[in-house]
């Protein structure tokens, strides 16, 4: 009699409320957990999958409890796999796609190459500190390194919560507070140099699309995304203002490993809440936008597409669709090469820097410039958007030369002599009139020194005789 083979069914028992995972006779995996409904009652939720790992993920998504992972196949994975799974399970649904893209990129570029294959218990404070030191030594900005540290810290907080580790090793990691940069005076000026601004504007007259677009950045300080999302209803020609309310952004889609599959250009909110603002515009920009409106009217008559309705995009494609940043940049790059501006390293954001610099050159209040640019902090306005070139150093030196020229210093010395003689005489006369009772110790000392000086002069005169 042959023995019948019995298939081993793997089971996993958990604490109350944490669900259970087991494999059925047909090989399919099943997981169940009690979840609380809106009315307070508890119902059992059952999920199915082809592996124990798949069931664990589904239970985590339902309950939000990472300790389910501790006793599952996740516990045997490397540090890199644990972080990737945590990013996909917890960070992806909690932040915007653009923000998540930054998270996954920082992990893949700055963390994964160093400690991907280590076990979680091997990632200690010295290990993380060494990673931070390596990133700083490679020339990475301090701000970026701090973002990397933040990823470590967030992950270990979750790992601590689900008892995968006993402490958070990131808490004792140190990073310098600011960048240590060598002065690069040739590249410090971020705006269009003053000597080529007029030439740049004159060449824009040869390009009907770039002229109003670039002038909007240069004389209103809008970001590229804000310009490409601008609608006609946002421009008040009568009061000469632009209301910034939206911005162009790209929404990426990801696979299950965090790799970007595609991007979709959409109009959404501005970069920050402070970016919603009203910007007054000068007459030359008003005229440029009116000329562009006439051009769009002609296109409307030829194509039948209403490019001038209030909700229409100001700088749209011929069919009324939104332009992409990449496509607009290619047009601008061709313009720069044609007229030789590429050697000045000008890009769209350079125009925004030029706007802020012209306001600083006009001695405008930094807080006003901050509001016009839509910055959250005036520190950004002062440190990033206030560039100087060598001509400003010369102007400052010339002002000092005018204040302290040889002729003026000579006049100043002569004037002091004229002032000192009567002043000294007045002081001596006053001393003669002051009685001993009215004098203080300092005046008595001065009187004594004057008397000694007179005595020495008298002795010298007697010796000369």
pLDDT in tens, 442-457: 566 666 777 777 777 6
Return the exposure string of 315-324: e unless at least 16 CB atoms fall within 10 Å of the residue's CB, then b: bbeeebeebe
| CATH 1.10.150.130 domain extents, the chain | 96-180
In this structure, CATH architecture of domain 96-180: Orthogonal Bundle (1.10)
Quick one: what percent of the chain has pLDDT higher than 90?
A: 41
The model's pTM is: 0.61
**Cα 464 to Cα 423: distance, rounded to the nearest angstrom:** 30
| pLDDT of the residue at 276 | 92
Confidence of residue 73 (pLDDT cuts 50, 70, 90): very low
Helix axes 210-220, 197-204, angle to 10 degrees: 140
- Using the structure block, give the residue that is written with the tokens 């770039």: 210
> Nearest 5 degrees, angle CA 216-CA 214-CA 237?
25
| CATH 1.10.443.10 domain extents, the chain | 194-394
Give the pLDDT confidence of 103-126 residue by residue, as tens digits: 999 999 999 999 999 999 899 999
| pLDDT of the residue at 72 | 52
Mean pLDDT over 192-199 rounds to 92
| pLDDT of the residue at 435 | 47
| CATH 3.30.160 domain extents, the chain | 10-76
| pLDDT of the residue at 434 | 47
| pLDDT of the residue at 15 | 44
| pLDDT of the residue at 440 | 57
- Strand residue runs (E) in 232-292: 235-236, 241-244, 247-254, 260-268, 277-280
Contact 267, 322 (CB under 8 A): yes
Of 14-23, 254-263, 443-452, which one has max mean pLDDT?
A: 254-263
Query: Is residue 235 scored above 80 in pLDDT?
Result: yes
Q: Mention the CATH class of domain 194-394.
A: mainly alpha
Count Cβ atoms within 10 A of the Cβ of residue 71 and give its class: 0-12 exposed, 13-18 middle, 19 or more buried: middle
Query: What's the fold here for domain 10-76?
Result: Double Stranded RNA Binding Domain (3.30.160)
* Lowest-confidence segment of 64-68, 75-79, 408-412 by average pLDDT: 64-68
Mean pLDDT over 317-340 rounds to 93
Mean pLDDT over 296-322 rounds to 94
Distances in whole angstroms, Cα of residue 330 to Cα of each of 68, 177, 298: 50, 38, 25
| pLDDT of the residue at 17 | 43
Confidence of residue 394 (pLDDT cuts 50, 70, 90): low
> Nearest 5 degrees, angle CA 427-CA 432-CA 434?
95
Q: Which residues contact 364 (CB under 8 A, 6 or more apart)?
A: none
């Amino acid at each position: 009699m042959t023995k019948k083979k019995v298939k081993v069914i793997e089971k996993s028992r958990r604490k109350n409320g944490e669900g259970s995972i087991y494999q059925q006779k047909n090989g399919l995996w099943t997981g169940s957990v009690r979840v609380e409904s809106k009315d307070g009652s508890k119902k059992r939720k059952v999920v199915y999958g082809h592996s124990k790992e798949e069931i664990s993920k589904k239970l985590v998504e339902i309950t939000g409890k990472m300790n389910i992972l501790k006793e599952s196949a996740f516990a045997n994975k490397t540090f890199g796999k644990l972080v990737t799974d945590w990013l996909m399970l917890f960070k992806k649904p909690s932040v915007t796609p653009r923000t998540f893209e930054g998270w996954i990129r920082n992990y893949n570029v700055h963390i994964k190459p160093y400690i991907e294959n280590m076990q979680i218990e091997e990632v200690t404070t010295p290990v993380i500190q060494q990673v931070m030191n390596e990133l700083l030594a490679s020339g990475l900005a301090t701000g970026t390194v701090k973002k990397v540290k933040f990823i470590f810290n967030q992950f270990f907080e979750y790992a601590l919560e689900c008892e995968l580790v006993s402490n958070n090793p990131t808490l004792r990691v140190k990073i310098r507070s600011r960048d240590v940069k060598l002065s690069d005076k040739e590249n410090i000026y971020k705006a269009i140099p003053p000597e080529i601004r007029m030439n740049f504007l004159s060449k824009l007259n040869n390009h009907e699309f770039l002229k109003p677009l670039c002038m909007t950045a240069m004389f209103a300080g809008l970001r590229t995304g804000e310009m490409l999302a601008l609608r006609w209803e946002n421009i008040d020609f009568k009061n000469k203002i632009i209301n910034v309310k939206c911005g162009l952004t790209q929404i990426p889609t990801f696979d299950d490993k965090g790799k970007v599959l595609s991007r979709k250009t959409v109009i959404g909110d501005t970069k920050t809440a402070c970016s919603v603002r009203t910007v007054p515009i000068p007459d030359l920009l008003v005229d440029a936008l009116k000329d562009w409106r006439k051009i769009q009217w002609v296109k409307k008559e030829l194509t039948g597409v209403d490019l001038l309705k209030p909700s229409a995009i100001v700088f749209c494609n011929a069919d009324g669709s939104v332009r992409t940043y990449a496509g607009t940049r290619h047009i601008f790059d061709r313009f720069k090469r044609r007229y030789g501006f590429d050697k000045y390293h000008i890009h769209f954001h350079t125009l925004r820097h030029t706007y802020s610099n012209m306001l600083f050159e006009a001695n405008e209040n930094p807080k006003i410039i901050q509001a016009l640019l839509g910055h959250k902090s005036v520190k950004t306005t002062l440190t990033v958007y206030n560039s100087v070139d060598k001509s400003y150093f010369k102007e400052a030196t010339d002002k000092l030369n005018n204040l302290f020229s040889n002729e003026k210093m000579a006049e100043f010395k002569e004037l002091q002599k004229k002032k000192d003689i009567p002043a000294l005489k007045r002081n001596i006369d006053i001393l003669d009139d002051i009685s001993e009772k009215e004098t203080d110790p300092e005046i008595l000392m001065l009187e004594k020194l004057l008397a000694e000086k007179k005595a020495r002069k008298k002795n010298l005169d007697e010796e000369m005789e």
